[in-house]
Structure 1
Amino acid sequence: MIKKIFAPLLCCCLCLQQLYAQNKLSVDNVYSTYLRNSGTITENGQIKGYFFFYQSDKIDRRTNEYTLQILDENLNKVKDIKLQDSKSVNLLEAAYNGNSISFFFQDEKERKLTMKVYSMDGKLKYTYLNEYTRQTEELMKQYVSLHTDDGTNQNVFDVGHKGFVSVMPLRDGKDRTYEVDFYGSEKKGYWKYTPNDDEGRFAMAEYLGNTDSLVILQVFKRKHLIGNNVSGHLVGINFVTKRKVFDLDYEDQDFLFSPASVVRQKNTGNFIIAGTYYDKGASVMKDASKGLAFYTMNSKGKILSQSYNSWDKDFSKYIKTTGKGKIEDVGYLYIHKMIQSTNGQLYVVGEGYKKKANAAGIALTAAAAAAGSFGSAGVTKLVITDLVVMSFDGDYHVTDAKIYEKTDNTAMSNPLVDFASQHLLAAFLKGTGAFDYEFTTGEEDSDNFSICYSDYVREEDYKGQTFNTIHFNGSKFTQDKIQLKSKASKLKVFPAKPGSVMILEYFKKEKRIDLRLEKIS
C-alpha cells in the first residue's frame, strides 16, 4: 500500500460527476486526499486550469491504476490520463512548466527515483530513471519529516519550456552537499551537477528561482574543513551549457549578503535579488541583519546595481524596528514575493516569524531538572506573525511599509527551535507550508494585484479560518476576507482566473471532494 504521507492528491476509487457546466465540480468515492499532488496550469502568469493526480483503481495485488485529471479554468473536465504502476511507487512532487507536466516518483521496493514528463494531450514524452543510494537517503528522510498537505515543492521546479530541475540534499557520513539534476521536456536530455570544491563537502542549497537559462541557488558553505564558520553564497548554474556560471560570496562588497528571493527584471535579461545584509565579519547564520538589500545582476553574475535599506534608519520611518535585525512585534522577515509595476516600482510581500518562550516546555524542562534528568522539551517555540507589504522606488529604496496584523500561529515547538538559525527555521517553515501567505494573483501587464493569505480569527460573530486579500488597484491598497467555515475535513484555496479563487473541500466521512470558484475583490 502507498503510505499515507505520500498518497497522491485523490487516492481513491472515484467517479466524477460534474454538477454545473461551469465553476463547480464534485468528486465522489474519495477515500483519502493528499493536496500536494495538485497544481495550477498557467500561461503568461494567468490561470488556465488545474491538474490533479490520484489512484483510480487497483489492478492486482502488485499494481495500481493512476489518473491525471486536467481541468480548465472554469473547472470543466478536459482530460483523463491513465497509467499503471507498482503499488510500491510513491508520488513525491509534481510541477508544470507551460507545455508539460512532470511527476517525480519514488519506488521503495526497487530503490529508484523516476521523473516522468507528460505533454498536455496526455502522452508520456520522456522517462528518466535514477537509483537512489545511501547519499540520497537524506532526501527520503526529508520527505518523511517535511512532506505535508500545505508544503510547497521542496526539490522539483520548472525552468520554463525547456524542462525541470531538482535540487537534492546529499549526505555521506559527515559530509553534506547537494546535487542539481536537469530533465528536458522540449527534447530528451538529462544532466547532473554536483559541487567539486572542498567547501562543497559542507554545503546546503536552496532553490531561489530561475531565468531562461540559469538556476539560481542560495548555498551555505562551511569555509574550512574544521570549524563552524559558515558563509552564504549565490550560485548560478546554466542549464543550457551545463556549467556553473558564478559563485558569489560578497566578500568584496561593502556588506555580506544573504539572498532570499529572485525575480526576473521586466524588459531586460537581468534579475533582481532581495535579501538581508550584514556587517563584514558577521555570521549570516547567527548575527542580526542590518536591513534589506537589492542586487540587480546579469546572467553572467555581474552586479549591475545595489541598494541597501536599513532597519534602524530607512524602515523605521514607516514601521517600528529593533536593533536586532527584527521588526517590532513581527520578528524576522521572510520574503515571499516581489511584484514589479509598469512604472518601475517594486512591491515586496514578507511575513514575520520569531521565537517565543514555550511555557509548557519550560515547565517540563524544570520538572526534569528537579528530578535529576534532562528534559527533551524545547524552552522556545517558533511562531508565525504578521504580513508586511513594502513599496520601493525604481532604484529599490523603500518608500512605504505597512504591517497587516493576523493571529499568531505556532508552527514548531521542539528543542530544534532553541538552537537552529533564523535561515534554517525559515527553510523549515517554507518546506512544511507553515506560513500563512498563500499566493499573489493579478492581471497580465497590469498594476492590479491581490496578495492572498489565510488567518484564524476569534471574533464575536465568527470563530474560524478566513481567506484574506490585500488588493492593489494601481493607486491604493484595500482589504477583504472570506469566511471559510466548513464541515470539510480539509480545505485548501488555489489561485484562479482574475477576480476569483478556487476552493477545494474534502469531506472524509462522505468520501467526497467539492471544488468551486468564488469571487474576491
Structure 2
Amino acid sequence: MKRLKTAFTLLMLLGSVGSHAQTQTLSGFTSFNKKAITPIYERNEVKGYTMVYRTEKAESKSDIYGLDFFDENLQKVGSVVLPKERYNSHLIRRASNGETFSFYFYNSRSKRLEIDVFDKALNKVASRQFAGLTKADQDVALQEMHVACNGGSKLISGLNLYAVPEKGYVRNGYTGKMKGFSLEMYDNNLEQIWAYSSEDTSKAYESLLVNEVTDKYILATITRKPGKSSKQLDFFVAAFDIETGQKVLDVAVEKDQTQQLAVSSFSFDDSKGELIIMGEYYSPEDIEMEGKSMGFFLKRIDLDGKELSEKLFAWDKDVNPLLPQEAQKSLEEGFISFVHKIVRGADGRQHIVAEQYKLKADGVGIALSVLGGGTSTIKGVIGNMMIYTLGADLNLEKISFYKKDQTDCILPPGTGAYGAGLAGLVINMNGGFDYQFTQEENSQSGFNTTFINYRQVKNSKFREKTLVNITYADNNEQVTDKIDVTNRYDVVSYVYPAKPGYVLVLGSQPEEEKLEMKLVKLDKQYLQQSLRAQQ
C-alpha cells in the first residue's frame, strides 16, 4: 500500500539542482512562522522543502502568496506566485500528494473556501470555490483565519485538507451545530468523487480526527458523546474507502463496560493490514478521563473490526520496574504520555516516542476569568521524553527516559472539558510540546528523534535552549547528543528534519529582514561550531 510521499524526481523537473548549496540566505522577511517550511518526503527520508510566504506591494490590490521549492541540499529549484484578494483571503492549509500541490484559502468577505492546485511543473491545473458553508463551517473557518493571522489557539479538529497519495484531496467539514462531520473527496482536477456525512437521525455528537490517509483508506478516530456539553466520551476507530467514501469500519475501542480507554495514537501497519491503537486506561469507576490513569494499552484490530490482541501495561507492575526513580516520580505526580510517533523497525520492534504532560490550574487565568477575560483556567505542563520499546510480540522490553526541564503551555478556553486525554491533542495542535520531529531511515534499520530542552536561568527571564538528538541504531543501541541552540537576542531559531545524518537549522532575524537556512551534520562538535558561526 502506498503512503503519502513525493518523489525526488518532482524537484528535478523544476530545474537544475546545481551545486550542493547546504546554506541559503533569504532577504525581505520581517516575520516568520515555523510552519511556513514543510519537508518533502520520499518514503521516510527528506528530499526537499517547500516554503510559503506572503508579500504586500503598495501598488497592488492583491496579496501575493509565494511558494518556493528547495532540494535536499537547500538549492532553490522553483517558485509559484499566487495573487489573492487583499485583506480578505487567508491561507489555512496546504498539501502535496506526490502528483500535485494545493493551497486552501478562506475568504472572509465572500465567506467561501477556495482550493488552488498546481502540477509538478508548477502549472495551475484547477481552482474551486466552496460557497454556502454551514454556520458551523463558517465559525470554524473564522477561527482558522484568526489562527493564520494572529497565531491563536486552534480547535481540536479544524478545517483540514488531506492529501490522498497521487489521487487527490479530502476535505472535512461540520454538520448541524457542530453535531456531526462531513468528508468530501476530490481528484487532482478538483472534480468531486464522493461525499460522506454523519447521519442526521443520530442523537450522539460526533467528532472526527483523521489519523492517516493512504491510497486505499482514510483512517480516523471518532469520539461520540450523548450531549454537547457531556464529558462522557466513547472512542471508535473508523476506516473509509478512498474510492467510494463508504465507511468500511466503525468499531468501539472499549469491548464492554468494564473498560474505560482513552485513545492517544492510532496508526496503520500496511504490511499486516492491521490498526495499532494506543492510549491510557482508567478505572471504570472514575469520572471519564479525569481520574489518574492506571497504565497504557495497545490494541491490534484488522480491517474487519476483529480484535487481534490487547495488552494492558500497568504503571505499577509493568512500567515502573523499567524506569529510574526520577521517572517513577513523574508518574506519581500525575503526568501522562502523549504519543508523537510509532516507529517500526526491520527487526519487528516498535518504538513509541512519547512526551509527558498534565493539566494544572492556572492562577493568572483564574484571576482574569473572574474579571471576565474569557481566559482558560488551566494550563498544560510539559514533562519528560520517553521511548517505549516493544518486541515483535508486543511485549514491553525497555523504556528509555530522557529528563528535561518542565515548560508551561497556554491552553484555549474550554480545554478542560475535554479531559486530560484529549487535552494532549490540543497541546500538540497548538505547538505546546517540546518534541520536534522523528526521522526514519528507508531501510528501517534506525531512526533519530529530537526535542528542545528549555532551561530557565536563575534570577533571569533568559532561557537556555538545547537541542537533544537521540539516535537509535539497528542493534537497539542509542546515542544522545545535546547541542546548544540558544537564540541570540535578535535571532529566533527553528529546527527541521533533513536528509539522513543532518538537521536543518533556520535563524530568523526580523530586524535585518533576513532568514539564514543551514544544513548541519548530526555531530555534536560540528553542529555547535556551525551554530556559533551562524549566530
TM-score with structure 1 setting the length? 0.84
* CA distance in 2 between partners of 1:410 and 1:264 (Å): 32
The match for 1:26 is 25
The match for 2:495 is 493
* CA distance in 2 between partners of 1:321 and 1:216 (Å): 38
CA RMSD of aligned residues (A): 3.4
| 2:298 counterpart letter in structure 1 | F
Instruction: Report SS of the residue matched to 2:449.
Output: strand
Is residue 350–residue 387 contact of structure 1 (8 Å, CA) maintained in 2? yes
Question: Which residue of 205, 210, 232 corresponds with 2:208?
Answer: 205
Tell me the CA shift for residue 428 of structure 1. 1.4
Tell me the CA shift for residue 500 of structure 1. 0.6
* CA distance in 2 between partners of 1:471 and 1:197 (Å): 50
Is residue 89–residue 105 contact of structure 1 (8 Å, CA) maintained in 2? yes
Question: Is 1:301 the equivalent of 2:305?
Answer: yes
* CA distance in 2 between partners of 1:490 and 1:78 (Å): 26
**Unaligned 5+ residue runs, structure 1?**
1-17
**Unaligned 5+ residue runs, structure 2?**
1-16, 524-535
Instruction: Report SS of the residue matched to 1:422.
Output: helix
Is residue 137–residue 174 contact of structure 2 (8 Å, CA) maintained in 1? yes
* CA distance in 2 between partners of 1:97 and 1:407 (Å): 38
The match for 2:245 is 242
Question: Is 1:389 the equivalent of 2:405?
Answer: no
* CA distance in 2 between partners of 1:464 and 1:471 (Å): 23
| 2:44 counterpart letter in structure 1 | G
Moved more, 110-119 or 303-312: 303-312
| 2:265 counterpart letter in structure 1 | S
Tell me the CA shift for residue 94 of structure 1. 1.3
Tell me the CA shift for residue 159 of structure 1. 3.3
Question: Is 1:181 the equivalent of 2:194?
Answer: no
| 2:51 counterpart letter in structure 1 | F
The match for 2:104 is 104
| 2:281 counterpart letter in structure 1 | Y
* CA distance in 2 between partners of 1:306 and 1:249 (Å): 13
Question: Is 1:509 the equivalent of 2:511?
Answer: yes
Tell me the CA shift for residue 215 of structure 1. 1.4
* CA distance in 2 between partners of 1:146 and 1:379 (Å): 21
**Residues 374 and 157 of structure 1, relative CA distance in 2, 3 Å threshold:** closer
Question: Which residue of 219, 222, 240 corresponds with 2:222?
Answer: 219
Provide, for residues 36-74 of structure 1, a one-character-per-residue CA deviation record: whole Å limited to 9, x for no partner: 233111111111100012234638543233321111000
Tell me the CA shift for residue 168 of structure 1. 3.7
* CA distance in 1 between partners of 2:286 and 2:251 (Å): 17
**Residues 319 and 96 of structure 1, relative CA distance in 2, 3 Å threshold:** same
Is residue 307–residue 395 contact of structure 1 (8 Å, CA) maintained in 2? no
Moved more, 114-123 or 144-153: 144-153
Question: Is 1:139 the equivalent of 2:140?
Answer: yes
Provide, for residues 11-49 of structure 1, a one-character-per-residue CA deviation record: whole Å limited to 9, x for no partner: xxxxxxx99851011111223333323311111111110
* CA distance in 2 between partners of 1:91 and 1:84 (Å): 12
Provide, for residues 401-442 of structure 1, a one-character-per-residue CA deviation record: whole Å limited to 9, x for no partner: 132111111102687466541134212101111111111013
**Residues 377 and 49 of structure 1, relative CA distance in 2, 3 Å threshold:** closer
Is residue 161–residue 186 contact of structure 1 (8 Å, CA) maintained in 2? no
The match for 1:345 is 349
| 1:255 counterpart letter in structure 2 | Q
The match for 1:85 is 84
Moved more, 341-350 or 129-138: 129-138
Instruction: Report SS of the residue matched to 2:34.
Output: coil
| 2:498 counterpart letter in structure 1 | A
Moved more, 29-38 or 429-438: 29-38
The percent identity for this pair of structures is: 22
- How many equivalent pairs are there? 494
Is residue 146–residue 152 contact of structure 2 (8 Å, CA) maintained in 1? no
Moved more, 499-508 or 241-250: 241-250
| 1:493 counterpart letter in structure 2 | V
The match for 2:438 is 440
Provide, for residues 120-173 of structure 1, a one-character-per-residue CA deviation record: whole Å limited to 9, x for no partner: 21022332321233121231244256553998995233332223323344552x
| 1:495 counterpart letter in structure 2 | P
Q: Which has the higher contact order (CA 8 A, sep 6+)?
A: 2
The match for 2:455 is 457
Instruction: Report SS of the residue matched to 2:221.
Output: strand
| 1:471 counterpart letter in structure 2 | T
The match for 2:272 is 268
Is residue 175–residue 197 contact of structure 2 (8 Å, CA) maintained in 1? no
Tell me the CA shift for residue 80 of structure 1. 1.3
The match for 2:6 is none
